Amino acid sequence: MTEPTIYELSAPGRIGVRFPHPDVPLADLPKNLIREELPLPELSELDVIRHFMHLSHLNYSIDGGFYPLGSCTMKYNPKINEETARLPGFAFTHPLQPEETVQGNLALMYELQEYLKEISGFGAVTLQPAAGAQGEFTGVMIIRAYHKSRGDVKRTKMLVPDSAHGTNPATSGMTGFEVVPIPSDARGNVDIEALKAACDDSVAGLMLTNPNTLGLFEEQVVEVNRIVHQAGGLVYGDGANLNALLGIARPGDLGLDIMHINLHKTFSTPHGGGGPGSGPVAVTSELQEFLPGPVVILLEEGSEEIPPLFGFHQPEQSIGRVKAFNGHFGMVVRAYTYISMHGADGLRKISEYAVLNANYLLARLRNTYKVTFDRTCMHEFVVEGVWNDAPDVHALDISKRLMDYNFHPPTNYFPLIVREALMIEPTETESKQTLDRFADVMLKIAEEAHAQPELLQGAPHITPVGRLDEVKAAKELVLCCWLPDEVRS
Amino acid sequence: MFIPHTDSEREEMLKTIGAPSIESLFEGVPVKHRFPQLNLPPALSEMEVAAQLQELSQINESTRDLVCFLGAGAYNHYIPAAVDAILRRGEFYTAYTPYQPEVSQGTLQAIFEFQSLVANLTGMDVSNASHYDGATATAEAAVLAYHHFRGKRTRFIVSPAVNPQYRQVMRTYMDGYENLQVIGDGEPGDPLGAFEALTRMLDANTAMVVVQYPDFFGRVQDLSDLAAKVHAAGAILTVVINPTALALFKSPGEMGADIAVGEGQPLGIPLSYGGPYLGIFAAKKDYVRKIAGRLIGETVDQQGKRGYVLTLTAREQHIRREKATSNICTNQGLIALAATAYMSLLGKHGLRQVAELCYHKAHFLAEQINRIPGFSVDLTQPFFHEFIVKCPAPVGEINEYLLDNGILGGYDLSQDYPSLQTHMLLAVTEMNTREEIDLLCEVLKEYAND
C-alpha cells in the first residue's frame, strides 16, 4: 500500500482554500521582482484531508500501541494538554507584545521555571532551548563561559562516559572542547579510577547521564561529582532520563551543576514524529547569570487586590540567545498542565511506576535475553539481542519481527557498550496486561530465532512497506518530488 | 488517570521482581538524598486544571482581543481549520522520530513532501526536514559555511537588516569556534544594510554573506548583483527568507543564492507566543552532504515498493559523535507537517492570493500613514508584510496610545538600531481588514493632533 505524493495528486486549477477579495485599492507590483512560476500543487480540501488521513494510517504511534523505545520516554500524551495549549489566549499571543498584555503567559512561564527548579533541585531555569540537544549545547556553553569569566582559559577537555548518548560528544565538539571518553566499570557505573586519572586542571567538565543509558543509577554519583569539582570542573547532567527521578532524588542535591530537562520525555509533551521538543536548562544559583536571556522574573509581589507583575530579565553574563523569542511556549503550556495535574505525590508515583514497569519486564525477560549489567534497573534496561546458538539473528531482526506482533521495537544498537543492544523503556502509563503481552511476544520471538530464523530475517511481514534499501537512498539521493511534467523538465 | 495499575497488579509485579516494595527498588540512590519532599501545589483534576489554564490565558490580551499590526519575524495569518484537524491525528503527534521506517511511512512521506514544497518555494535543489526556527537555521548556515571551507575562511558578513535575534543566535553558535569574525552589522554604519557596504567588506577570507529577503524592514531588493559579487569572492550567499513573500516575489534560488533559510511560522503555524515554530533550511545541491539535521530520501523496499527513509545519517551525532558538525537529533516534525498541510491546502493559487493581499494592504496602509502630519513612510522601494514609519514621538509612547485604543502597534526599531529612534515597523497581513486599517489611521491622526 503506497500513497501518491501531493504532487501526484495535484490537478491544475483545483483550489483548497479561497480568501476574500481585496478590500483596498491595488498597489503597483514591481514587475522586475515578480515571480513567474510557483511550482506548488493544486488540490481540494478533501484531497488534502484524505491524503494525510491515509498517511497517518502508515504510522505507529503511542495512541495506537506500546512504544518501548529506550531513552525516549514514550509515555501517554494526555489530551487535555492539546486543549490548554490551544486556548486562544495563549495560542494567539504574539511573541513581541508588551509585557503588560501577556501577564498570563509570563505567570505560567515563571511558575514552570519554579516547578522545574523544585523538581530538579537547582537554583535557576531557562525555558528557551528548543530541544534536549539545544539544552545540552546551552549547558556546555555555560561551562565554557563560567571558566572564561574566571580567566581560566586552559580548560579544553570535556569528559564523556562511554555509555553517553551521541549528542554529548557532538555537543562538546560543536563548542570547541576535546572529548575524553571515560570507561564504565563492571557494574555499569563510571569507572572512578579512570575518572580520577583523567581529572586535572585542563578539564572543563563532565557530561553525566543519571540514570545512565544502561538504565542504571550511578551509584557513586556524589563521589563522581566531588572528584570533578575538586579538579575545578563542572558537572553537566543529561536530563534525558529524568523520568526515573521525580520525587526520588534531585540532581541538584546530588551535586550536579547544570542539567537540561526534556519536556517531551518526562513531562508528556508529544514527540510529534520528531519534534517539536523543548529542553529547559536548570543551573545552580552560582551559574544563573550565564543563562541565555531573557528569563522570566517576578517584578512585584501581588496582594489580594493587585495581581503580581512578571517581566523579562537579561542575565548579566549571558551566553547569548540560543533561539528566537521565548522558547517553545506551546510545549511549556502542556508541561505546566501535566505538572499541575500531578503535584508532588503524583510526580513521585510516575517515577515509581516507571521503575516498577521496567523491573517487571526485566524480570520476565532476563532468563531468555542476556543482561550484560544485571542489577535492579531504573526506568529502562538493556538486553543483548543475540544468542550464541542463533548466530544469524541480530537485534535488528528482533526489532523488525516485533512489528509483526504490532509492537514498536525498542531502541537498538545503543548504548554502544552492549553487544547488539536492545534498550527497553516501558514508562509508567503501560498496564500489566500490555507488559505481559509484550514479554510473551519477546519470548516467542526468542524461540523463533532458534527454530525459524528466516521469519525474523525477513521481517517485518505485515507493515505497509518491508525493509527499505537505505544504500540506494543514500546513493541516489532523491530528496524531492516534483510536479509530474511542469517543473524541472 | 495515567497510571493504570491496580493494587493487586502492583503486588503481583513486585512478587515477579522479587522485591518487597516499590521503595526497595531505589536502594541504589544515596539515602541522604532519597525521596525528597517536593514543595509543589496540590494536584488538580483535569476539570480544575482546564479552568485554571483558561483563567490564566484570559489574563492575556491576544491578537484576537486586539487589532494586530505587529510582525518583526512572527505574523498573524489565517490558518484553515483543516490544518489543525490533520495535526490532531494521534498517529502523527504521538509518533517518535521515524527511526523505524517500516512503521513510520506517514511521517516520512509527509516530511519528504515538506522538503519538496520548500525546495520549490525557495528555488533550491534540496531542503532538509527543518530546524528549530529561523534563527537557528541561520546559525546552522554559518556552521555549514565554516565546515565547507574547513575553517580556513573566517570572515562572516552579516547585513544589519537581518532580524536582530537571528544575528544574536548566530553569534552564540559561532562563539564555539576560535578566531571567527562576524562583521557588517555593527554600529556605526548603515542600519539599512546597503549591499554596496557589504560587498566592500568581501575578501578572500570571507566564508559567507547573510542578507534577508524581504529584509527585517520589509524591503524587497534584487539579489542578483550581490550574488554575483559574493561568488566572485568565492564565498557563500545565504538568504533569510519569508515563505509567504516567495509566493509573489522571485525566489532566492532564481537570483543566485546558495542557501535559503528562514522562519516557516507564516505557513499555518499559530503565533503561540513565539514557538514552537519552524526553521527552513534549503540549499543548492553542492551543499547537500554538509546540511545539518534530518534528510528524508526516497527508496524502495525488497519488493520494489516505493518508500522513504532517513538518509545520509552518517553525518549525524549518533554515528559520528564528536566529529559530527551538529548535535541536532530532531526536526520540528509536527510543525513541518502543519506547513505541508497549509501549503497543500492553499496550493499555487491560495498562497499567491495571501501574498498579494498582504502586499496590497500593506501598501494601502503605508500610503494612508504617509499622509498623516508628522508620520512618514519611504514609498519608493517595494516592501512586503511590513514597512518603516518615521514617527513624531518615541514609538513606546505611540504604542501606549494605540494599546489604549485596542491596537497592538508596531515594533520599536530603536531597541536594536540606536540610529532609528522614533522609527516603527508596522506589519499587515490578510487578517487586517479595511476597517482595522482605517481605525489605525484614525487613531494615529488623533495622536498627531493631540
Closest alpha carbon to A162 in A209, A219, A196, A203:
A209
Q: What does A174-227 look like in DSSP terms, one character per residue?
A: HTTPEEEEE-B-TTSSB-HHHHHHH-STTEEEEEEESS-TTS---TTHHHHHHH
Residue of A nearest to B178 (CA): A176
Mean pLDDT to the nearest integer, A148-165: 94
Question: Is pLDDT above 90 for A271?
Answer: yes
Question: Is pLDDT above 70 for A485?
Answer: no
- pLDDT at res. A486: 44
Lowest-confidence region among A340-354, B45-59, B314-328 = B314-328
Question: Is pLDDT above 90 for B317?
Answer: no
The cell for A230 is 575538586
- pLDDT at res. B193: 74
The cell for B352 is 499567491
d(C-alpha B59, C-alpha A325), whole Å: 20
Instruction: Specify the 3-state DSSP secondary structure of A99.
Output: helix
Question: Is pLDDT above 80 for A35?
Answer: yes
> What is the enclosing helix (H) or strand (E) of B211?
strand B206-213
Contacts of B301 in chain A (CB under 8 A): 465-469
Instruction: Check B297 against A473: CB less than 8 A apart.
Output: yes
Q: Is residue B209 a contact partner of residue B202, using CB atoms and an 8 Å limit?
A: yes
The nearest CA of chain A is from the CA of B423 a distance in Å of 16
Closest alpha carbon to A243 in A336, A153, A352:
A352
Residue A326 touches partner B, C-beta closer than 8 Å: yes
Q: Which member of B102, B126, B351 has the closest CB to residue A403?
A: B102
Closest alpha carbon to B309 in B125, B131, B111, B119:
B111
Q: Is the full-model pTM beyond 0.95? A: yes
- pLDDT at res. B94: 98
d(C-alpha A268, C-alpha B94), whole Å: 10
Q: Which member of B78, B248, B275 has the closest CB to residue A330?
A: B275
- B186 pLDDT band, cuts 50/70/90, is confident
CA dihedral A451, A457, A458, A459 (to 10 degrees): 90
Q: What does A43-98 look like in DSSP terms, one character per residue?
A: --HHHHHHHHHHHHHTB--TTTS---BTTT------HHHHHHHT-HHHHT--TTS-
d(C-alpha B107, C-alpha B97), whole Å: 8
- Largest Cα–Cα separation, chain B: 84
Instruction: Check B247 against A254: CB less than 8 A apart.
Output: no
Residue A334 touches partner B, C-beta closer than 8 Å: no
Q: What is the 3-state secondary structure (H, E, C) of B232-280?
A: HCCCEEEEEECCCHHHCECCCCCCCCCEEEEECCCCCCCCHHHCCCCEE
pLDDT digits (tens, 9 = 90+) for A283-311: 999 999 999 989 999 999 999 999 999 99
The CB density around residue A79, as the number of other CB atoms within 10 Å, is 11
Q: Is residue A216 a contact partner of residue A188, using CB atoms and an 8 Å limit?
A: yes
Instruction: Specify the 3-state DSSP secondary structure of B198.
Output: helix
Mean pLDDT to the nearest integer, B90-96: 97
Mean pLDDT to the nearest integer, A242-251: 98
Number of inter-chain CB pairs under 8 A, A vs B: 670
Looking at residue B240, its amino acid is V
d(C-alpha A184, C-alpha A254), whole Å: 20
pLDDT digits (tens, 9 = 90+) for A395-433: 999 999 999 999 999 999 999 899 999 999 999 999 999
Task: State the burial class of residue A235 (Cβ atoms within 10 Å of its Cβ: 0-12, 13-18, 19+).
Answer: buried
Residue A248 touches partner B, C-beta closer than 8 Å: yes
Instruction: Check B344 against A41: CB less than 8 A apart.
Output: yes
The cell for B439 is 481605525
Instruction: Check B348 against A352: CB less than 8 A apart.
Output: no
The nearest CA of chain B is from the CA of A387 a distance in Å of 23
Question: Is pLDDT above 70 for A210?
Answer: yes
d(C-alpha A286, C-alpha A149), whole Å: 12
pLDDT digits (tens, 9 = 90+) for B370-414: 999 999 999 999 999 999 999 999 999 999 999 999 999 999 999
Residue of B nearest to A252 (CA): B33
Mean pLDDT to the nearest integer, B71-99: 97
The nearest CA of chain B is from the CA of A18 a distance in Å of 6
d(C-alpha A246, C-alpha A346), whole Å: 9
- B188 pLDDT band, cuts 50/70/90, is low
Lowest-confidence region among A260-269, B186-195, B387-396 = B186-195
Lowest-confidence region among A222-231, A253-262, B27-36, B327-336 = B327-336
CA dihedral B294, B298, B300, B306 (to 10 degrees): 120
Mean pLDDT to the nearest integer, A332-355: 98
The nearest CA of chain B is from the CA of A211 a distance in Å of 10
Contacts of A480 in chain B (CB under 8 A): 112, 115-116, 119-120, 125-127
Closest alpha carbon to A26 in B361, B378, B218:
B361
> What is the enclosing helix (H) or strand (E) of A168?
helix A167-174
User: A468: which DSSP letter?
Assistant: B
- pLDDT at res. B330: 75
- pLDDT at res. B156: 97
Q: How far is CA B26 from CA A260, A352, B21, in A?
A: 23, 9, 10
Residue of B nearest to A269 (CA): B94
Residue of B nearest to A1 (CA): B305
**Radius of gyration of chain A, Cα coordinates, nearest whole angstrom:** 25
Question: Is pLDDT above 60 for A130?
Answer: yes
Give the residue carrying C-alpha cell 520528531: A274
pLDDT digits (tens, 9 = 90+) for B217-233: 999 999 999 999 999 99
The nearest CA of chain B is from the CA of A140 a distance in Å of 10
Residue A88 touches partner B, C-beta closer than 8 Å: yes
- Bridge-based pairing of strands A157-161 and A178-182 is parallel
Contacts of A53 in chain B (CB under 8 A): 89
Could you give phi then psi for residue A329, rounded to 5 degrees?
-55, -40
- A124 pLDDT band, cuts 50/70/90, is very high
pLDDT digits (tens, 9 = 90+) for B259-288: 999 999 999 999 999 999 999 999 999 999
Q: What does A223-264 look like in DSSP terms, one character per residue?
A: HHHHHHHHTT-EEEEEGGGGGGTTTT--TTTTT-SEEE--TT
Question: What region does A247 belong to: left with phi over 0, alpha with psi -120 to 50, or beta?
Answer: left
Question: Is pLDDT above 50 for A62?
Answer: yes
- pLDDT at res. A484: 47
The cell for A418 is 552492549
- Bridge-based pairing of strands A309-313 and A421-424 is unpaired
pLDDT digits (tens, 9 = 90+) for A436-466: 999 999 999 999 999 999 999 999 999 999 9
**Radius of gyration of chain B, Cα coordinates, nearest whole angstrom:** 25
- Bridge-based pairing of strands B296-300 and B306-310 is antiparallel
Instruction: Check B94 against A134: CB less than 8 A apart.
Output: no
Question: Is pLDDT above 80 for A332?
Answer: yes
Lowest-confidence region among A389-398, B30-39, B310-319, B415-424 = B310-319
Which 410-429 residues of chain A touch chain B by CB within 8 A? 414, 428-429
The cell for B321 is 559523535
- Bridge-based pairing of strands A411-412 and A421-424 is antiparallel
Instruction: Check A429 against B169: CB less than 8 A apart.
Output: no
Which 98-137 residues of chain A touch chain B by CB within 8 A? 98, 101-105, 107-108, 115, 118-119, 121, 130-134, 136-137
Mean pLDDT to the nearest integer, B353-364: 98
Q: Which member of A7, A134, A173 has the closest CB to residue B322?
A: A173
> What is the enclosing helix (H) or strand (E) of A421?
strand A421-424
Mean pLDDT to the nearest integer, B421-426: 97
Question: Is pLDDT above 60 for A488?
Answer: no
Question: Is pLDDT above 60 for A101?
Answer: yes
Question: Is pLDDT above 70 for A164?
Answer: yes
pLDDT digits (tens, 9 = 90+) for A360-369: 999 999 999 9
Q: Which member of A82, A165, A343 has the closest CB to residue B41?
A: A343
pLDDT digits (tens, 9 = 90+) for A179-192: 999 999 999 999 99
The nearest CA of chain B is from the CA of A390 a distance in Å of 24
Question: Is pLDDT above 60 for B450?
Answer: yes
Residue A153 touches partner B, C-beta closer than 8 Å: no
pLDDT digits (tens, 9 = 90+) for B231-255: 999 999 999 999 999 999 999 999 9
Residue of B nearest to A401 (CA): B102
Which 256-315 residues of chain A touch chain B by CB within 8 A? 268, 270-278, 292, 307
Give the residue carrying C-alpha cell 569507572: A191
d(C-alpha B365, C-alpha A25), whole Å: 10
Residue A57 touches partner B, C-beta closer than 8 Å: yes
The cell for A256 is 550536579
Q: In what order do the strands lie in the sheet with A421-424?
A: A381-384, A421-424, A411-412
Contacts of B7 (CB under 8 A, 6+ apart): none
Closest alpha carbon to A424 in A407, A412, A416:
A412
Q: Is residue B422 a contact partner of residue B395, using CB atoms and an 8 Å limit?
A: yes
Instruction: Check A467 against B102: CB less than 8 A apart.
Output: yes
Beta bridge partners of A387: A390
E strand intervals along B242-385: 259-263, 279-283, 296-300, 306-310, 376-377
d(C-alpha B128, C-alpha B298), whole Å: 13
Question: Is pLDDT above 90 for B340?
Answer: yes
